[in-house]
Chain A
């Protein structure tokens, strides 16, 4: 997996570690931006209902956003939701909550909308904070209002990768307008296991984030006995020098957020990141979307398959597989005869 961890990250780390403390001090000045992606899959939230609900989470998130804004007066935030319900119309999919499209904001972010959020947020709060929190709560509220009463399971699909790419483009835009002075990072608050996550688009997002040097942090809320299934998100944090934490006691969520997930990009080189998982590097089959240990790899486009497609053509690049090789591959193993040296090589455990 070291190949995935881009060299640019390593080089950065070394230069910071090698630099004097004055270079570290220089970092104190630089502002940073935070993109927060919240997964609001209703079914998964229902599963967690004994431990935490969206209300608790949004309360903690408000404080977390304030914490981030308090670090530096020119820090920026943007908040997205990955809404898993999609009815094919405008409500559904991923959406930016802040900066809001509905409320007009000028460059100083000082105008207020017709806020219902006002009664949710203490009016005594520092303006900069209140503005963000109000819009966030208001928009979240309006999205939850729109949620249809009847939930059709078929309409669900995981839109996390969509939210990721939106936030990456947002960061790109910020970088363009700030001469690259702004350091950005992404935090995903996820409740969903990612077997439903589209592999290719997620991976593309991860690589894009890596190129942009944007660390992706993941906070996974899970039941106590939950099997850890966020393979791709773990890979995302690993590849981008981010933090992955699975949290099963969400009561003290603020503490988690203010400790583990408030580590500025500048500090990442000198702090030990609180990532406590062995990363699972398996990937998923392109056809069945199942996560596999051993599979077939197309020799042309490197797509990963758990089974051999019926028409003997690669489902991604449409190249024809060699019949002879397939025949060999399909042969049941015979004791004493080695037969797996084909063009389609079997890859074990790591396909990356």
Chain B
């Protein structure tokens, strides 16, 4: 789960990191957005921010930051100290890099005079972005009066504030409005059902199953623009697309051509991801389109992040939204992220309250809760229509002999399985198939990764398989702990062994991975080669630095060569220049 989730998260992060500074500072004016962005950070970055947020000037020196870190791991068995770069350090660099690229911290160099010796040294300081700091402080402390003005500047914040204020009356008139649904319970399950059906409708459309109601044009063109689906006559359509792009208008695609789209490779990959990643992917695509439509990206992003902090089963007023956000509202309804009640007698008029669904509220939460959230979802849905067990995700059984059985009659799932399983027979409520080298290779060639296949199988495994795996794990842990207590040398780091939950037979997993490796004998990286060093010292310093900042790809000590990634090159070159300068100055001083 974490892999695919990290995938989706990284795309979000990438998008955020690539935004210009001005947009960053606008974004950080909204406490809700700050909170959401904060939650997307690595734990160590969160820790750094938390330590800085309540200090007076929100600065900290780089050496001080390092002091908190336990740099030497407790074990150094066979790796010599010099060659070892601790993972903690790598993690720290990664965390700092993220903070910097999100513009959350700024580097400042300051001259510090040592009170004893009087010598001045330049020390690197980190300073928390003041806008971000104020907003997050606001969010944490509930806002104080001095910062109140700031809160009001961001449109999205006011929206939230208004929502909260109007909530009490809103609750009351809501109760009057739907007397049959005034219990929270029912509403939530209703929302779950509604949002999932909406979402599945989109997925069903992608695999081309028969649908009573096609997704809306907005959804269809989004699918097309994200490259998940393509229209039939490729050449014609490419031209069409170009034309459309020139006009900067995406809605004008012919509806009937859109409805006859075919799924692409990317689309298949998309299907294998978990819901949360799928939604993020579409939302990012939405962001890109919205930029082209001259929608304010700050408004759009704020709204997405605010959605994540709204509460399930509560209604919110639409009045307080900005015009951009009102446009978004309609689109998000199409994706099933938001529910808005429509009056049956008058389809044009819409209720001025909206309900975020679970798909929306779990946007900024982490994968594990979401998985449990989907489980809750499935549960509640199953309670609703017990005669439709196909919606239960846990239906796949795999045996160690690569045979696969799936209790389903949903064309969606069968279509997905067909991507990497050689299906043999189909019954009214199940399909049988076998995983072969050919079937997996077909999927791999289509761009689906082994990781994705395994994740899919794991998340959709039959409950019986999960149960068995858990029992096995428990037995293993028992066994381990019983042997461990007898061992006196349990601490040398080698004896520890953490048993993992193996839902899918390990043989199958390994084999799928091996089949992937068959195709990946050569990996390519873009980057830069460093060679022709003057001496060992220089060489060693440089490659160590490169490892520390995590950009080293390959090195050969004998040939004095190493290779770094494209992104890291600049940093390494700078470091090298600095080193050269220092050397020169050192050489020049003693001579005269």
A residues whose Cβ falls under 8 Å from a Cβ of B: 7, 10-11, 13-15, 17-21, 23-31, 62-63, 66-67, 70-74, 106, 108, 110-111, 121-130, 133, 178, 181, 252, 254-255, 258-259, 262-264, 266-267, 269-272
Given contacts A125-B139, A126-B31, 5 further A-B contacts (CB under 8 A): A11-B491, A13-B74, A15-B498, A21-B550, A63-B141
- Could you tell me if B368 and A124 are in contact, using CB atoms closer than 8 angstroms? no
A14-B2 in contact given A28-B42, A126-B309, A271-B68 (Cβ < 8 Å): no
Residue of B nearest to A73 (CB): B365
Q: Does B32 contact A (CB under 8 A)?
A: yes
Among the listed A15, A19, A31, A269, which residue makes an inter-chain contact with B70, where contact means beta carbons less than 8 Å apart?
Answer: A269
Residue of B nearest to A2 (CB): B491
Among the listed A18, A130, A264, which residue makes an inter-chain contact with B73, where contact means beta carbons less than 8 Å apart?
Answer: A18
Contacts of A266 on B, CB cut-off 8 Å? 43
- Could you tell me if A263 and B38 are in contact, using CB atoms closer than 8 angstroms? no
- Could you tell me if A272 and B312 are in contact, using CB atoms closer than 8 angstroms? no
| Distance of A266 Cα from B95 Cα, bound (Å) | 14
Query: What sequence of 0s and 1s flags, for each residue 347-385 of chain B, a beta carbon within 8 Å of any chain A beta carbon?
Result: 000000000000000001111110010000000000000
Contacts of A252 on B, CB cut-off 8 Å? 54
A73-B366 in contact given A106-B184, A110-B184 (Cβ < 8 Å): yes
Measured CB to CB, the closest approach of chain A to B280, in angstroms, equals 15
Measured CB to CB, the closest approach of chain A to B477, in angstroms, equals 11
- Could you tell me if B42 and A124 are in contact, using CB atoms closer than 8 angstroms? no
Contacts of A181 on B, CB cut-off 8 Å? 368
Contacts of B313 on A, CB cut-off 8 Å? 108, 110
- Could you tell me if B43 and A262 are in contact, using CB atoms closer than 8 angstroms? no
- Could you tell me if B68 and A272 are in contact, using CB atoms closer than 8 angstroms? yes
A14-B164 in contact given A25-B42, A28-B43, A259-B50 (Cβ < 8 Å): no
Among B84-92, B195-203, B562-570, the stretch in contact with A: B84-92
- Could you tell me if A124 and B143 are in contact, using CB atoms closer than 8 angstroms? yes
| Distance of A21 Cα from B96 Cα, bound (Å) | 14
- Could you tell me if B143 and A122 are in contact, using CB atoms closer than 8 angstroms? yes
- Could you tell me if B69 and A271 are in contact, using CB atoms closer than 8 angstroms? yes
- Could you tell me if B140 and A70 are in contact, using CB atoms closer than 8 angstroms? yes
Q: Does B490 contact A (CB under 8 A)?
A: yes
Q: Which chain B residues (140-176) contact chain A, with CB distance < 8 Å?
A: 140-144, 151, 160-161, 164-165
Query: What sequence of 0s and 1s flags, for each residue 35-55 of chain B, a beta carbon within 8 Å of any chain A beta carbon?
Result: 100110111101100110111
Dominant SS among interface residues on chain A: helix
Residue of A nearest to B85 (CB): A21
- Could you tell me if B490 and A70 are in contact, using CB atoms closer than 8 angstroms? no
Contacts of A259 on B, CB cut-off 8 Å? 50-51
Q: Does B5 contact A (CB under 8 A)?
A: yes
- Could you tell me if B143 and A73 are in contact, using CB atoms closer than 8 angstroms? no
| Distance of A124 Cα from B530 Cα, bound (Å) | 56
- Could you tell me if B35 and A70 are in contact, using CB atoms closer than 8 angstroms? yes
A20-B498 in contact given A14-B493, A71-B46, A258-B54 (Cβ < 8 Å): no
A130-B366 in contact given A21-B94, A71-B46, A110-B314 (Cβ < 8 Å): no
Measured CB to CB, the closest approach of chain B to A76, in angstroms, equals 11
- Between-chain CB contacts (< 8 Å), 14 pairs: A7-B490, A10-B74, A25-B94, A31-B368, A66-B141, A70-B38, A72-B39, A73-B308, A74-B369, A106-B185, A123-B165, A126-B160, A127-B164, A271-B70
| Distance of A153 Cα from B75 Cα, bound (Å) | 52
Q: Does B467 contact A (CB under 8 A)?
A: no
Measured CB to CB, the closest approach of chain B to A101, in angstroms, equals 20
Contacts of A73 on B, CB cut-off 8 Å? 39, 308, 364-366, 369
Q: Does B424 contact A (CB under 8 A)?
A: no
Measured CB to CB, the closest approach of chain B to A241, in angstroms, equals 12
- Could you tell me if A11 and B309 are in contact, using CB atoms closer than 8 angstroms? no
- Could you tell me if A67 and B67 are in contact, using CB atoms closer than 8 angstroms? no
A267-B44 in contact given A26-B2, A29-B2, A70-B139 (Cβ < 8 Å): yes
Q: Does B541 contact A (CB under 8 A)?
A: no
| Distance of A129 Cα from B160 Cα, bound (Å) | 14
